[in-house]
Amino acid sequence: MKKAILFCLLIGFPTFAHASLIQEFEVLNGELSREFDSNNNYYSVDLNEGEDTMEYTYKLANEQDTIEENKEKDKVILTVSSDTEKEKYVFYINRKEVKKVMKEIKEEEEEQRIIPHLKYYVGGGCLLSILLLFKIIVIGFKK
């Protein structure tokens, strides 16, 4: 019986040693590509419209572990460390570009509103120049 217990402990030991994990993870301003599972290390995150950085909460499997957060423009890397191990989770960020596209369209519309007024000023200036030249030519011929 002692041999069976010892065998079970030895077989179960690797699972206990792999304790540097994120137990729970939630994105507050977006959506994960799939449900969080501490055994999956790579995720895609779709941020809500207008959001630029990922906001999140997590719970470590072992409270003595530490977590290092590395936030880059297009990804967030969380590294969980225990005394003996490190586990890395990578979250690739996808931003919705709808707002940016709408802003560009709005800027184009503003440019189009300005340009027609500019046409009137240029057209009016040309007309005045032509009339002035016509008057000079006509007055010049009368003398």
Q: Which run of H or of E encompasses 26?
A: strand 22-27
Higher pLDDT, 27 or 4: 27
Mean pLDDT computed over 4-26: 60
State percent of the chain over pLDDT 70.
67
**In 25-93, where does DSSP find H-type helix?**
none
Q: How confident is the model at residue 10 (pLDDT cuts 50, 70, 90)?
A: very low
Radius of gyration of the chain (CA): 34
Nearest to 94 by CA among 54, 48, 45: 45
In degrees to the nearest 10, what's the CA dihedral of 94, 97, 98, 104?
Answer: 170
Give the model's pLDDT for residue 87: 92
Higher pLDDT, 104 or 133: 133
Rounded Cα distance, 3 and 102, in Å: 70
CB 54 within 8 A of CB 91: yes
Phi-psi region of 50 (alpha: psi -120 to 50; beta: other; left: phi over 0): left
Give the model's pLDDT for residue 13: 45
Asked whether residue 28 carries a pLDDT value surpassing 70, the answer given is yes
Give tens-digit pLDDT for 76-121. 999 999 888 899 999 999 987 765 566 677 777 666 665 555 556 6
Say which range, 24-28, 37-41, 131-135, has the weakest mean pLDDT: 131-135
Higher pLDDT, 96 or 59: 59
- Enter the tokens of residue 126: 């040309």
Rounded Cα distance, 21 and 37, in Å: 10
CATH number for the domain formed by residue range(s) 18-96: 2.60.40
